[in-house]
Structure 1
Amino acid sequence: MSDLLGIGYSGLKAYSRALSTVGDNIANAQTPGYARRRLDMMEAVGGGNSIFYRGNTNPGGVDIRGVNRSVDAWLIEDSRISGGDAERSATRLGWLDKVEGALSDETNGIKTGLTKLYTTADQLTSDPSNRTLRAQFLQSVDDIASGFRTAAGQLDKMGEGIEGAATSAVDQLNANLNALEQVNVGLRKARPGSTNEASLLDERDRLLDQISSQAGVKATFDDRGAATVRAAGSGDLLVGGGVVNPVSVTAAADGRLSYSVGGAPLAITTGSLAGLSEAAGHVADQRASLDTMATQFAGQLNAAHQAGTDADGNPGQPLFTGTSAATLAAAPLAPDQVAVANASGSNGNMLALGAMRGANDPEARWSGHLATQAQTVASARAQDAAASTRADASAAARDGVSQVDLDTEAAELLRFQQAYSAAARTIQVARETMQTLLSSL
């Protein structure tokens, strides 16, 4: 009879724990990083049995082996890799879109100014002495210079913004590395199979997901689930053995980013930090290209203007001053100082200026530069779409194993409620039988 009571008691204890586990699953169905849990139970060894031999008709109840998480290590690793690639492409695309906006005509008006300059030059060929057209010509020069300064200012702000974003992201990465080491400490102390251990493992995986989305890492685990994290490319230790090595970021004079750990260079090829590094490099390239085009445009247009003579017969003056896009400015000329004429006639210099339009004139080169930027953004957008699709598929496959399904939990809840009632009924039968035996004495 004591065996019957023991069987009933073991059932009550086990199924109560199972109901609690199902309740945790239902309560955390929408909690990010939560992996479905299930209680692992086995038949208890009955009296007269041993671990080597079990009788066929001598049940011993049920034992709790521990709480297991529904996870697949391969799917988790694949999800982290694809998620890091998606973060890299999304971060890069976001900044490339901003660069395209800074270079667009809607923002700086450079293309409009160049077109206006050549259009006004054409009009001056028909009316060389028209002061209004001369003033419009100078205004278009000022619009071009202003457009270059605007674009340069926008790119400078972007460089500062990327540097700030990288600094913030590195700080968050280091905070996650420190938090992961604290979880490692907890895992080494947690009782195997306990709910506390399962919660710590959930938090460990959540932190590793965030770290992987920021930078490419490789994680290995000891027999207690504590993680050792190394940089995916170089193998530099970031977390492990009670040590946390923080990552640092440095911005060069042109805004390019470099990462390091322990004073040694750290190559990051995936995650948001990689996207920020690539974006910083692209902005630096665009700033250099903008300066080159500004000086080339100024030199070409200055030379063309200086080849003519103004209304007073004086040699034409430079139209632009400055040595970079940020310092480009229109020279302070009066309408009469516009060099419309040359030795061939009163409108000869404007005819020569108009003849510059072609494959290598400032207007065509600027249009070509914008087209190249648009192609770069389109390529980045296609890469981002592919990476995002793969990341979504990997996350869905991972969730198919780990995610809580409320229908399944409802069925489990009903099953364990019935099992709990059966265990309680077993104890009741044992009690009634014992009372009957005692009352018969």
Structure 2
Amino acid sequence: MSDLLSIGASGLKAYSRAMSTVGDNIANAQTPGYARRTLALKEMASGTESALVGRNVSPGGVTIQGISRSIDKWLINDARISSGEAERAATRADWMTKVESALSDDANGISTNLTKLFTTADQLTADPNNVTLRAQFLQSVDDVASGFRSSATQLGAMSEGISDAAQSSVTDLNNNLDALESVNAGLRKARAGSTNEASLLDERDRLIDQISSQMSVTASFDDKGTVTLRAAGTGDTLVGNATVTHVAIATAAEGRLGFTAGGAAIDPGSGNLAGLSQAADHVADQRAGLDAAAAQFAGQLNAAHQAGTDANGNAGQPLFAGTTAATLTATPLSASQVAAANGSGTNGNMLAIGGMRGANDPEAAWASRLASQAQATSSSRAQFAAAATRADGAAAARDSVSGVDLDQEAADLLRFQQAYSAAARTIQVARETMQALLSAI
């Protein structure tokens, strides 16, 4: 009779815990990083069991072995790698789009004003003494200079924005590294198979996922589940042996980013830090290219204008001052100081300036720069689309193992409810039987 009672009692305890586990699964079905849990149950042999004679074994109830998480380590690692690459591609594509916008004609009007400058020069060849056209020519010069300054300002602000975003991301990364070591400390003390251990393992995996979305890392685990995290590119330990090595960032004068861990240079490899680093390099290249374009353009126009003479017979003066896009300004000239003439006639210099149009003229060079940026932006978007598709597939594959299926949980809940009712009925039968025996005495 006592065996019957113990069988029922063990069943009540086990199936109550099982229903609680199913309830946790249902409640956390949409919780990021939560891995489906199952309660491992095992038949408990009665006290008459003999290790040498199997037939002496009789039912003794059910015992709880512990909670296990439904995971596939390969799928988890693949999801982390693809997620990090998608974050890198997304971050880079976002900033590439912003660069394209900063260089576009809508933002700075350089293309429009270059065309206007040469169109006005062509018009002056027909009417070189027209004061209005001369003023329009000088205004287009000023508008082009203003466009270069505007682009330089936007790219400079963009470089600062990337640096600030990278600094914020590094701060988050270091916080996650600290939190991961705290989880390691908890895992060292957690009881195997406990709900606490499962929760800590979920948090461990969630933090590694977060870190992987920021930079490329490799993870190894001991028998307690504590993780040793290393930078994938260099192998430098970030978390391990109860210590944490923080990542530091430095921004060069031109805006390029550098990362170190414990004083040693590291390459983020993937994740949003890698995307920010690539974006910073691209913006730095564009800023240098913009400065070169401004200097080349100003040099060409200055030389062409100085080759002519103005309305007063004086030698033409430079149209532009400044050596970079940010410092490019129009020289303050009056309409009479436009050097439209040269030795060949009153419109000779305007004819020469109009003749600059061709395969290598400033208009064509700027159009080529815009086309190159547009192609690079389009390529970055295509890379992001491919990386996002792969990341979605990897996440779906991981979730097919670790995710919670509400239909399955509902079926398990019904099964355990019935088992719980059966266990309760077992105790009731034992009670009724005992009562009947006592009443017969």
- TM-score when normalising by structure 2: 0.99
Say yes or no: does 1:125 pair with 2:159: no
1:190 maps to 190
Note the alpha carbon deviations across 1:350-388, whole angstroms, 9 max, x for none. 111111101100010000000000000011000000000
Letter in structure 2 aligned against 1:17: R
Distance 1:133 1:376, change over 3 A: same
2:411 maps to 411
Matches within 5 A, 1:277-316: 277-316=277-316
Question: Are the counterparts in 2 of residues 26 and 406 from structure 1 also a CA contact under 8 Å?
Answer: yes
Alpha-carbon distance in 2 for matches of 1:59, 1:280:
69
Alpha-carbon distance in 2 for matches of 1:202, 1:116:
63
Cα distance, 1:405 vs. partner? 1.1
Alpha-carbon distance in 2 for matches of 1:100, 1:354:
29
SS in 1 for 2:345: coil
2:35 maps to 35
Cα distance, 1:425 vs. partner? 0.4
Letter in structure 2 aligned against 1:285: D
Question: Are the counterparts in 2 of residues 109 and 147 from structure 1 also a CA contact under 8 Å?
Answer: yes
SS in 2 for 1:274: helix
SS in 2 for 1:61: strand
2:174 maps to 174
Letter in structure 1 aligned against 2:265: P
Q: Which segments of structure 1 move beyond 2 Å, counting only runs of 4 or more?
A: 50-57
SS in 1 for 2:238: strand
Cα distance, 1:57 vs. partner? 6.4
Question: Are the counterparts in 1 of residues 67 and 198 from structure 2 also a CA contact under 8 Å?
Answer: yes
Alpha-carbon distance in 1 for matches of 2:334, 2:380:
46
SS in 2 for 1:420: helix
1:241 maps to 241
Note the alpha carbon deviations across 1:203-224, whole angstroms, 9 max, x for none. 0010000000001000011101
Alpha-carbon distance in 2 for matches of 1:247, 1:57:
60
Alpha-carbon distance in 1 for matches of 2:303, 2:367:
21
SS in 2 for 1:253: coil
Cα distance, 1:51 vs. partner? 5.8
Question: Are the counterparts in 1 of residues 46 and 57 from structure 2 also a CA contact under 8 Å?
Answer: no
Question: Are the counterparts in 1 of residues 40 and 68 from structure 2 also a CA contact under 8 Å?
Answer: yes
Question: Are the counterparts in 1 of residues 48 and 57 from structure 2 also a CA contact under 8 Å?
Answer: no
SS in 1 for 2:333: coil
Say yes or no: does 1:268 pair with 2:268: yes
Say yes or no: does 1:211 pair with 2:234: no
Alpha-carbon distance in 2 for matches of 1:128, 1:50:
117
Alpha-carbon distance in 1 for matches of 2:13, 2:298:
85
Letter in structure 2 aligned against 1:6: S
Structure 2 runs not aligned, ≥5 long: none
Question: Are the counterparts in 1 of residues 50 and 57 from structure 2 also a CA contact under 8 Å?
Answer: no
2:335 maps to 335
Give me the identity figure in percent.
Answer: 70
SS in 2 for 1:183: helix
1:63 maps to 63
Note the alpha carbon deviations across 1:168-190, whole angstroms, 9 max, x for none. 00000000000000000001111
Question: Are the counterparts in 2 of residues 121 and 351 from structure 1 also a CA contact under 8 Å?
Answer: yes
1:259 maps to 259
Alpha-carbon distance in 1 for matches of 2:167, 2:331:
41
Cα distance, 1:305 vs. partner? 0.6
Which has the larger displacement, 73-82 or 43-52? 43-52
Question: Are the counterparts in 2 of residues 42 and 63 from structure 1 also a CA contact under 8 Å?
Answer: yes
Question: Are the counterparts in 1 of residues 50 and 56 from structure 2 also a CA contact under 8 Å?
Answer: no
Question: Are the counterparts in 1 of residues 5 and 427 from structure 2 also a CA contact under 8 Å?
Answer: yes
Alpha-carbon distance in 1 for matches of 2:328, 2:92:
29
Question: Are the counterparts in 2 of residues 181 and 244 from structure 1 also a CA contact under 8 Å?
Answer: yes
2:142 maps to 142
- TM-score when normalising by structure 1: 0.99
2:90 maps to 90
Alpha-carbon distance in 1 for matches of 2:123, 2:403:
71
Alpha-carbon distance in 1 for matches of 2:285, 2:208:
33
Question: Are the counterparts in 2 of residues 230 and 239 from structure 1 also a CA contact under 8 Å?
Answer: yes
Question: Are the counterparts in 1 of residues 121 and 354 from structure 2 also a CA contact under 8 Å?
Answer: yes
* Number of corresponding residues: 441
Distance 1:51 1:371, change over 3 A: farther
Cα distance, 1:56 vs. partner? 7.1
Alpha-carbon distance in 2 for matches of 1:360, 1:337:
27
Cα distance, 1:298 vs. partner? 0.2
Question: Are the counterparts in 1 of residues 105 and 112 from structure 2 also a CA contact under 8 Å?
Answer: yes
Letter in structure 1 aligned against 2:428: Q
Letter in structure 2 aligned against 1:383: Q
Alpha-carbon distance in 2 for matches of 1:288, 1:376:
17
Alpha-carbon distance in 2 for matches of 1:294, 1:364:
14
Question: Are the counterparts in 2 of residues 45 and 54 from structure 1 also a CA contact under 8 Å?
Answer: no
Note the alpha carbon deviations across 1:68-93, whole angstroms, 9 max, x for none. 11111000000000000000000011
SS in 1 for 2:219: strand
1:349 maps to 349
Alpha-carbon distance in 1 for matches of 2:412, 2:289:
64
2:79 maps to 79
RMSD: 1.0
Structure 1 runs not aligned, ≥5 long: none
Matches within 5 A, 1:2-21: 2-21=2-21
Question: Are the counterparts in 2 of residues 215 and 271 from structure 1 also a CA contact under 8 Å?
Answer: yes
Letter in structure 2 aligned against 1:256: R
SS in 1 for 2:404: coil
Alpha-carbon distance in 1 for matches of 2:367, 2:207:
46
Note the alpha carbon deviations across 1:62-120, whole angstroms, 9 max, x for none. 11000111111000000000000000000011111111111000001111110000000
2:106 maps to 106
Say yes or no: does 1:382 pair with 2:382: yes
Alpha-carbon distance in 1 for matches of 2:426, 2:43:
16
SS in 1 for 2:59: coil
